[in-house]
Chains A and B, each alone.
Chain A
């Protein structure tokens, strides 16, 4: 079995398996931890409060409009996440890979210029946020090793993906696949899991606020 066959076959399946099994395990443990206390009589809707917080925290509150750091993180965060989303689900090789290996169907893909624009947004956002981890005293203090590893792995996945875009080199394609598999294996154990935990966190806070008739 060649290296590329190994990467496309058993290693892909193993890394995907670890991603799914341990990711689901982490969500299961979060939702079954400890106990939920008896709650006070509500004055507002718990469900509406949760929904409002899940949606509302997508944009900064008006009270923080005047703060530059808030805008920096918000703009860089959106540039990175939207760029990565476009690359992940609309880059032609990804759509073909998902069709052939997982879903069995495809959808319209980004033109080459669209890929380049999305990649530029994603890189600019990721690098801006990463550099901030070194230069901002607050973020430097609270950053964990995991935050650097997760960012670094994501950067490598994106970089190797760009180099493999032409699909002319099996080696470059293999390197990209290898970094993706490392990323998938690391994902459920890391802060990358915020991809799935953010609605829980916002939802719990929103539910509490809804019960109390306030907004948080």
Chain B
């Protein structure tokens, strides 16, 4: 195998043979019939490349989505495929070397945002994003992931959250309360709704926290934050650390049950929705029927539809970036359109919108991966051109990670279009009689 890739990072001083063995085990640790059907359906037509923002932005063949899982495919054909036993017996089973894993680290972590757009172009409907996610399980176990991502995972494991410890969280909340003259309920023993936040909400996007708090109060919802279960992001999901993914998931579910909450509210975050709403049962091990995992978008759209939230019309044009994990992979495409309509905004859809929307370029942990910044900026250019083509006054989205990616990329490219939070737009135009 040759990947023509950049230098890799590796963690620890595990011998190479052990890294490879761990990777092989990790690749197949969550393998099921769905992934097996994908591995047996690909005809190598290459159409997945036509959907991938990294391939389209760079023209590089190595960014073809199905190519990114080559070591994972080799592991499957060696260990678990229908004829792997024959291949092993006659010595033709594919092998994976430490060099292969090192070469593919960039393809698995830097150049895939798990956005799933490639699935739309695939004649076989293969969910390559899911296969990349499973490939990350092996890479994590091999100690082969970008250093920055490994560092964040370490923070999540040892400090409770990538943001910091529970004490850091409380300090950040108090600072927001002071700055915005607001009270944020914390660690109430009983509440109907447990609000979770992303690190970006506590740093760059503090207006989102304030806005959400005001909206929840205006709806007379009995809510709380928890210093022991505040983190919505799940870097286990993004890094391939399945143990961490499970523990972060269970922490939120357990805390909600402890305080009697029937709802866990997720902030404007994309992968948090994928990790908790669509995968919590998988990691919890049982169906979760007593708690509703609700996205902020859903809350706003539903309460607008019931008339509980009324808004002052903004009356200007807007275009909306659909976050992949919320819309294409999350089913929430209807919600932002309800909200923008209630804001009286003329929605000018991007050329590729809703399920077919291009990724911002920073999802799937790529934003946290500092070495991927140049590639991210190239992918961002696709979105920039689409936004400019609409001529809309406002550029709006509903994911903190997408906003950070747009902010960093527009600074790097001197683009003057600011991206706005849909939640913050709602909060700023809330009608309270």
Which of A91-99, A163-171, A205-213 has 4 or more CB atoms under 8 Å from chain B?
A205-213
Which of A105-113, A116-124, A154-162, A188-196 has 4 or more CB atoms under 8 Å from chain B?
A188-196
Please encode chain B, from 322 to 334, with 1 for each CB lying within 8 Å of some chain A CB and 0 for all others. Answer: 0000011111010
- How many A-B contacts if CB must be within 8 Å? 185
| Pair A35/B32 contact, Cβ less than 8 Å | yes
| Pair B329/A216 contact, Cβ less than 8 Å | yes
| Interface residue range, chain A | 35 or more
> Which residues of chain B come closer than 8 Å to A33, judged between CB atoms?
31-33, 35-36, 80
Are A34 and B32 CB-contacts (below 8 A) given A40-B278, A139-B44? yes
Query: Cβ of A173 < 8 Å from any Cβ of B?
Result: no
Give B129's nearest chain A residue, CB to CB.
Answer: A216
Query: Cβ of A2 < 8 Å from any Cβ of B?
Result: no
Query: Cβ of B400 < 8 Å from any Cβ of A?
Result: no
> Which residues of chain A come closer than 8 Å to B34, judged between CB atoms?
36, 204, 208
Are A63 and B124 CB-contacts (below 8 A) given A139-B45, A216-B116? no
> Which residues of chain B come closer than 8 Å to A44, judged between CB atoms?
331
> Which residues of chain A come closer than 8 Å to B328, judged between CB atoms?
214, 216
If over half of B's interface residues share one DSSP class (helix, strand or loop), that class is named, otherwise mixed; here it is loop
Considering residues B45, B66, B286, which has the most beta carbons from chain A within 10 angstroms of its beta carbon? B45
| Pair A63/B38 contact, Cβ less than 8 Å | no
Query: Cβ of B126 < 8 Å from any Cβ of A?
Result: yes
Give B126's nearest chain A residue, CB to CB.
Answer: A201
| Pair B122/A57 contact, Cβ less than 8 Å | yes
Q: Contact partner of A142 among B44, B277, B282, B286, CB < 8 A? A: B44
> Which residues of chain A come closer than 8 Å to B127, judged between CB atoms?
204-205, 208, 216
Minimum CB–CB distance for A72 against chain B, Å:
10
| Interface residue range, chain B | 35 or more
Minimum CB–CB distance for B294 against chain A, Å:
12
Which of A12-20, A22-30, A175-183 has 4 or more CB atoms under 8 Å from chain B?
A22-30
| Pair A142/B37 contact, Cβ less than 8 Å | no
Q: Contact partner of A40 among B121, B280, B333, CB < 8 A? A: B280
Q: Which residues of A contact B (CB under 8 A)?
A: 22, 25-26, 29-41, 43-44, 53-54, 57, 60-64, 67, 69-70, 73-74, 77, 129, 133, 136-144, 147, 189, 191, 193-194, 197-198, 200-206, 208, 211-216
Q: Can you list 30 A-B contacts with CB-CB less than 8 angstroms, sorted by A residue number?
A: A26-B82, A32-B33, A33-B35, A33-B36, A34-B28, A34-B36, A38-B281, A38-B287, A39-B281, A40-B282, A73-B123, A74-B123, A133-B44, A138-B61, A142-B66, A197-B37, A197-B40, A197-B124, A198-B124, A200-B37, A200-B40, A201-B38, A202-B125, A206-B125, A212-B329, A212-B331, A213-B331, A214-B329, A214-B330, A215-B355
The 10 closest A-B CB pairs, nearest first, are: A213-B331, A202-B125, A201-B41, A63-B356, A200-B37, A37-B282, A29-B82, A33-B36, A34-B32, A212-B331
